[in-house]
């Protein structure tokens, strides 16, 4: 295949805000700071601030437990501010009315969600009644045409969250899409769990991302070998690299250490096996694995900061949502607090 276009994307800094009395003010301040950093026009900054404040107030009033995440991303090379809201219930039982301002005033999380949806350039939400809601609102840095170029490229997004008490995260991800001249659409994705947590684990993750960037157009096995060389002398990491070729319907992957990876299709998930070892310390004999990728299937890879005991059947409707919402909802439902957490999700473009 001869890639003629594509883009790289990777984990960046995520500002996590836990629920407390000051969450709305803190979220607003942080949103304004990030929005200005990417050159957003003042009027648009004010709108983003309003949406973020609304989301924070909603969580504070109605959620049992929850968090907001704010970050700068660049999906397909276009800078944006992203707001994610996660909660563990009660959740919205009626999304339809929740999206209509003033209709669902009866103490659900839906209050004001219509306002957030209207302000955002991209809005998506998934709710599990009684269990939790994940909401995404994206604000482009610059006004521009609605549809993105190359909209038939695969979609990929991830999310990381440090262990409680740490500022930096040892889990990280990176992805590179390929848009071949022969019409192929593929994405190569890395999930990396730097051993332990804190700055040294984060450093291993940084080195892994740099090596991944440098390793374009290689097979997953060769990328893992390159990562192994780059991570010598570091903490070491568990890493899975997978190349999902949506045109040919196949995933090729290579995993070393404890990263969970699945192809999810319908109510089933097929695990992508990894080999024992530590990237940077001890590499086993690598061999390629191939797994079928049915139309509509989604690739999910996450660290052990999420329990791997989730089931697609328990998450109805989730795997048709935006990859960011899939990642956020899975983190909310399966995340553990005693470790760094990282997840990345890739899917074919939806026509
Ligand atoms: Mn871990």
- Domain with residue 118: its CATH number is 3.30.565.10
**Average pLDDT by stretches of 10, the chain with 351 residues:** 66 90 94 96 96 92 89 88 91 57 48 86 92 94 64 87 93 91 89 95 96 89 96 97 95 98 96 97 95 96 98 97 97 94 93 56
Per-residue pLDDT reduced to its tens digit, 82-116: 999 999 887 665 555 556 544 444 455 555 788 89
The residues near 58 (Cβ < 8 Å, ≥ 6 apart) are 85, 109, 111, 112, 113
Residue 111 domain-assigned (yes or no): yes
Q: Are residues 28 and 159 in the same domain?
A: no
Q: Are residues 243 and 99 in the same domain?
A: no
30 sits in which H/E element = helix 23-37
Q: Which pair of tokens denotes residue 317?
A: 């409707």
Q: Give the domain-ending residue among 140, 169, 193.
A: 140
Centre of ligand 1 from the C-alpha of residue 129, in Å: 29
Centre of ligand 1 from the C-alpha of residue 14, in Å: 17
Centre of ligand 1 from the C-alpha of residue 170, in Å: 8
**C-alpha angle 158-319-79 in degrees, rounded to nearest 5:** 35
Residue 61 domain-assigned (yes or no): yes
Centre of ligand 1 from the C-alpha of residue 51, in Å: 33
Residue 23 domain-assigned (yes or no): yes
- The reported pLDDT for the residue numbered 103 is 46
Q: Are residues 204 and 129 in the same domain?
A: no
Contact 253, 243 (CB under 8 A): yes
Residue found by looking up tokens 């374009």 in the block: 216
SS3 state at 300: strand
Q: Give the domain-ending residue among 140, 165, 186.
A: 140
Q: Are residues 294 and 160 in the same domain?
A: yes
Q: Are residues 190 and 269 in the same domain?
A: yes
The separation between CA 172 and the C-alpha centre of its own chain, rounded to angstroms, equals 10
User: To the nearest 10°, the Cα dihedral for 305, 265, 176, 242?
Assistant: 70
Q: Are residues 86 and 181 in the same domain?
A: no
- The reported pLDDT for the residue numbered 288 is 87
Centre of ligand 1 from the C-alpha of residue 266, in Å: 28
DSSP state of 154: P
346 sits in which H/E element = strand 341-347
Q: Are residues 116 and 157 in the same domain?
A: no
User: 171-203 burial, b for 16+ CB within 10 Å, e for fewer?
Assistant: bbbbbbbbbbeeeebbbbbbbbbbbebbeebbb
Q: Are residues 95 and 131 in the same domain?
A: yes
Task: Tell me the sheet residues that pair with 243.
Answer: 188, 252
Number of domains in the chain: 2
**Residue span of the structural domain in which 59 resides:** 8-140
pTM for the full model? 0.93
Centre of ligand 1 from the C-alpha of residue 339, in Å: 6
Centre of ligand 1 from the C-alpha of residue 205, in Å: 12
Per-residue pLDDT reduced to its tens digit, 306-344: 999 999 999 999 999 999 999 999 999 999 989 999 999
**C-alpha angle 120-347-82 in degrees, rounded to nearest 5:** 25
- The reported pLDDT for the residue numbered 39 is 95
């Amino acid at each position: 295949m001869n890639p003629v276009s594509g883009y790289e994307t990777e984990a960046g800094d995520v500002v996590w805000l836990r629920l407390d009395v000051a969450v709305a003010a803190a979220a607003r301040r942080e949103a304004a700071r990030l929005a200005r950093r990417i050159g957003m026009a003042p009027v648009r900054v004010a709108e983003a601030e309003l949406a973020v404040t609304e989301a924070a107030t909603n969580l504070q009033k109605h959620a049992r437990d929850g968090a907001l995440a704010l970050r700068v991303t660049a999906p397909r090379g276009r800078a944006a501010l992203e707001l994610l809201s996660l909660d563990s219930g009660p959740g919205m039982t009626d999304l339809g009315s929740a999206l209509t301002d003033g209709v669902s005033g009866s103490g659900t999380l839906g209050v004001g969600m219509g306002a957030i949806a209207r302000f955002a350039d991209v809005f998506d939400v998934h709710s599990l009644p009684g269990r939790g809601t994940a909401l995404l609102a994206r604000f482009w840095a610059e006004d521009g045409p609605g549809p993105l170029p190359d909209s038939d490229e695969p979609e990929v997004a991830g999310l990381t969250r440090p262990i409680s008490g740490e500022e930096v995260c040892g889990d990280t991800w990176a992805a590179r899409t390929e848009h071949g001249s022969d019409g192929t659409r593929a994405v190569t994705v890395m999930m990396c769990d730097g051993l332990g947590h804190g700055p040294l684990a984060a450093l291993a993750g940084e080195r892994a991302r740099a090596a991944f960037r440098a390793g374009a157009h290689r097979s997953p096995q060769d990328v893992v070998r390159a990562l192994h060389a780059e991570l010598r002398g570091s903490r070491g990491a568990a890493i899975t690299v997978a190349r999902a070729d949506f045109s040919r319907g196949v995933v090729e992957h290579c995993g070393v250490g404890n990263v969970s990876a699945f192809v999810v299709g319908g109510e089933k998930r097929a695990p992508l096996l990894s080999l024992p070892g530590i990237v940077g310390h001890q590499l086993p004999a690598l061999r390629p694995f191939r797994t079928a990728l049915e139309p509509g299937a989604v690739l999910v890879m996450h660290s052990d900061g999420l329990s791997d005991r989730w089931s697609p059947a328990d998450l109805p409707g989730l795997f048709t949502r935006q990859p960011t919402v899939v990642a956020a909802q899975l983190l909310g439902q399966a995340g553990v607090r005693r470790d760094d957490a990282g997840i990345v999700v890739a899917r074919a473009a939806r026509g």
